[in-house]
Amino acid sequence: MAKIVVDVMLKPEILDPQGKAVAAALPRLGFTFAKDVRQGKRFEIEVDGEPTAAQLAEVEKAAEKLLSNPVIENFTVRVEK
């Protein structure tokens, strides 16, 4: 069984209130490493057997149609072992 991962992030030019809130909270807890934080979604999709190219193409389509909102978000699809 393999896992296909779709990461969905707000486009860089779109305001990310959640990422902003996290970035503001980190230094209050003494964590100073972050220059910026963006928060997005991660979908883990379980498929039977090794994902085929056709399957990945389908996932791309689903990512565009359902998993992301192309008006404000970008996505990437990859296979994870």
Binding residues (CB under 8 A) for a second copy: these are 1, 4, 7-9, 19, 22, 25-26, 29, 31, 33-48, 51, 55, 58-59, 61-62, 65-67
Residue 74's binding partner, choosing from another protein, a second copy, none, with beta-carbon cut-off 5 to 8 A by kind? none
Is there a contact between 2 and 50 (Cβ–Cβ < 8 Å)?
yes
Query: In the bound complex, what is the minimum distance in angstroms from residue 15's beta carbon to a second copy?
Result: 15
d(CA 51, CA 34): 35
Binds another protein (CB under 8 A): choice among 3, 34, 57, 72:
72
36: left (phi over 0), alpha (psi -120 to 50) or beta: beta
